[in-house]
Amino acid sequence: MKVIILGAGQVGASVAEGLVSEENDITVIDSNAARLAKLQDRLDLRTVVGDAATPSVLRSAGAEDADMVIALTQSDQSNLVACKLAQSVFNIPTRIARLRSRDFLEDATLLSPDNFAVDFALCPEQVITDYIQRLIEFPEALQVLNFAKGRVSLVAVRAYEGGLLVGQQIKQMKALLPFGMDARIAAIFRRDQAVFPEGETVVEAGDEVFLLAAAEHIRPVLRQLRRMMTPVERIMVAGGGNIGLRVAKALDKRYEIKLIEGRPERAELLANELENTLVLLGDATDEELLEQENIAEMDLFLSLTNDDEDNIMAGSLAKRLGCKRVVALINRRAYAEMIEGGPIDIGISPAQISIGTLLAHVRQGDVAEVHSLRRGAAEALELVAHGDANTSKIVGRRIDQIDWPHGVTVAALVRNFDKAVVIGQTDDWTSITRHGEVEIAHHDTVIQANDHVIVFCTRKKLVKKVEKLFQVSFGFL
């Protein structure tokens, strides 16, 4: 596939790296020649220096025969203009834009073919906000991901000494679960190496275990395995930029929030925007300020400034002063790998979180969801099975009859996706309805047409092989 990426910042560079590794023809446009040179030194791609929102620059990048344009510059206006040019001048089939402004995100008509012609709008700040919210809902988790529009949940946890799973074979987990519930260990990473999860595999203390279950079962399963921690109530946020503001807005009606911002004018704006959040003017790396605001009583410290070093320093200080759990935004991958598991419990890479949302629109076949695991080293995919026993390599076959590449695990199926299922009720007796029926995958599970199949690849290079398995032959209409 021939793809043009506009913008070589953190998100653009990560997307380029992800797509180059999948044998796509990539061209990156940016006005910063030095940034492009640095990118080209480590990746096999073309670069064009210039304004991405001009026809001549797009033409130089090969827009006349491109399959996709992904506009990821810092400017909403440039991204929108580029998408419109891609449609009206170059007839590029697929157009994706990074957008921050709610005006564009909340009015679908503005992105229609008659207007700015954006097929898919990505807001990294909102993706990160949603990601942080899921981490708060599962305070014991290293990573929380959803599949099938929230029908299935995946929670990555650290196996701990004394836990029910430690020292047990995976096949014994079923006997530990509440009656009528099922779950699957979809992946295990031990000392940064993937361990293929088979029935006889023994879980060890310190393992990073990816546990998958139906959304309504995941909490009872974790509770039964004694992995639930004290719910989060008090949160301190460092940084009131775009992400800090979005996170505080999403949380301040349910939690007790304190937000630290160093710029007086920004702090005043935040105080006016946030009804229930206490906005503090100061420096999150100020030990005296953190102690004065009772950091030791906080359940969670979110370090969300635009500066990696400040986030690491503030997070480390918060942990040393007694905060129970620390999450920091880390743009540089080397930093994230270095600090996670020390004073910083979780390092969040904005680019890695955002890229999964994009990859679902780039991948071949009917890919409904893509999640990057372990900073891009592994992936979890939700693919839709099509065809029949004559036209498909997987439909109508048991899982153990399919030639899966080693390192690939089929974790679950969601069947009858269009069917509404009542799974419970809220406190006021309002029904909770989700779509589809979840079936945890076992060796004798048969894949049917239109099943949403959740697959784990312990190595990213396995993704292409999985996609080929899901492709149908020419006899399928």
* pLDDT beyond 90 at 177: no
Q: What is the CATH number of the domain that holds 215?
A: 3.30.70.1450
User: Which phi and psi (to 5°) does residue 137 adopt?
Assistant: -70, -25
- Mind listing the pLDDT tens digit for each residue in 425-467? 544 444 556 678 999 999 999 999 999 999 999 888 888 889 8
* pLDDT beyond 50 at 63: yes
Q: What's the DSSP call for residue 281?
A: E
Q: Are 162 and 211 within one domain? A: yes
51: enclosing H helix or E strand:
none
When comparing pLDDT for 213 and 228, which is higher? 213
Residue 361: which pLDDT band, with cuts at 50, 70 and 90? confident
170 — alpha (psi -120 to 50), left (phi > 0) or beta?
alpha
Lowest mean pLDDT among 22-31, 33-42, 391-400: 22-31
User: Quick check: is 477 in a domain?
Assistant: no
Q: Taking all residues of the chain, what is their mean pLDDT, rounded to a whole number?
A: 88
Q: Are 140 and 80 within one domain? A: no
- Tokens for 3? 């793809």
Average pLDDT (168-186) is 87
Quick one: what percent of the chain has pLDDT higher than 90?
Answer: 57
Task: Give the C-alpha separation, 453 to 467, whole Å.
Answer: 12
Other beta carbons within 10 angstroms of residue 341's beta carbon come to: 14
Q: Are 104 and 133 within one domain? A: no
Which positions ≥6 away from 67 have C-beta within 8 Å? 1, 2, 3, 92, 93, 94
Rounded to 5°, angle at Cα 444 from 439 and 450: 50
Average pLDDT (72-97) is 95
- Contact in structure between 209 and 203 (CB atoms under 8 Å): yes
The reported pLDDT for the residue numbered 343 is 85
Domain boundary among 101, 122, 143: 122
- Mind listing the pLDDT tens digit for each residue in 86-102? 999 999 999 999 998 88
- Mind listing the pLDDT tens digit for each residue in 131-170? 999 999 998 888 899 998 889 999 998 888 878 888 989 9
Average pLDDT (176-205) is 88
Task: Give the C-alpha separation, 133 to 119, whole Å.
Answer: 26
When comparing pLDDT for 106 and 96, which is higher? 96
Average pLDDT (232-248) is 95
Residue 149 exposed, middle or buried by CB count within 10 Å (0-12, 13-18, 19+): middle
Average pLDDT (50-71) is 94
- The DSSP-derived string for 341-354 is TTTBSEEE-HHHHH
Rounded to 5°, angle at Cα 100 from 94 and 105: 65
C-alpha closest to that of 240 among 269, 198, 201, 215: 269
Domain boundary among 77, 92, 122: 122
User: Quick check: is 37 in a domain?
Assistant: yes
Q: Are 106 and 173 within one domain? A: no
Task: Give the C-alpha separation, 123 to 412, whole Å.
Answer: 29
C-alpha closest to that of 369 among 81, 158, 127: 127
Domain boundary among 122, 157, 180: 122
User: Quick check: is 475 in a domain?
Assistant: no
Q: What is the CATH number of the domain that holds 304?
A: 3.40.50.720
Q: Are 374 and 460 within one domain? A: yes
User: Quick check: is 422 in a domain?
Assistant: yes
User: Quick check: is 329 in a domain?
Assistant: no
436: enclosing H helix or E strand:
strand 431-440
Residue 476: which pLDDT band, with cuts at 50, 70 and 90? very low
* pLDDT beyond 90 at 277: yes
Distances (CA, A) of 437 to 47, 152, 416, 421, 425: 46, 10, 6, 7, 17
When comparing pLDDT for 360 and 375, which is higher? 360
When comparing pLDDT for 310 and 367, which is higher? 310
Q: Are 110 and 167 within one domain? A: no
Task: Give the C-alpha separation, 198 to 443, whole Å.
Answer: 11
| Helical spans, DSSP H, in 180-277 | 218-224, 242-251, 264-273
Other beta carbons within 10 angstroms of residue 97's beta carbon come to: 29
Task: Give the C-alpha separation, 321 to 317, whole Å.
Answer: 6
Q: Are 280 and 392 within one domain? A: no
315: containing domain: 234-324
Residue 226: which pLDDT band, with cuts at 50, 70 and 90? low
| Beta strand 300-303 pairing with 326-329 | parallel
39: enclosing H helix or E strand:
helix 33-42
Chain centre to alpha carbon of residue 399: 27
User: Which phi and psi (to 5°) does residue 257 adopt?
Assistant: -115, 135
Task: Give the C-alpha separation, 467 to 366, whole Å.
Answer: 9
Q: Are 378 and 459 within one domain? A: yes
- Mind listing the pLDDT tens digit for each residue in 397-411? 999 999 999 999 999
Chain centre to alpha carbon of residue 359: 11
Total domain count for the chain?
A: 4
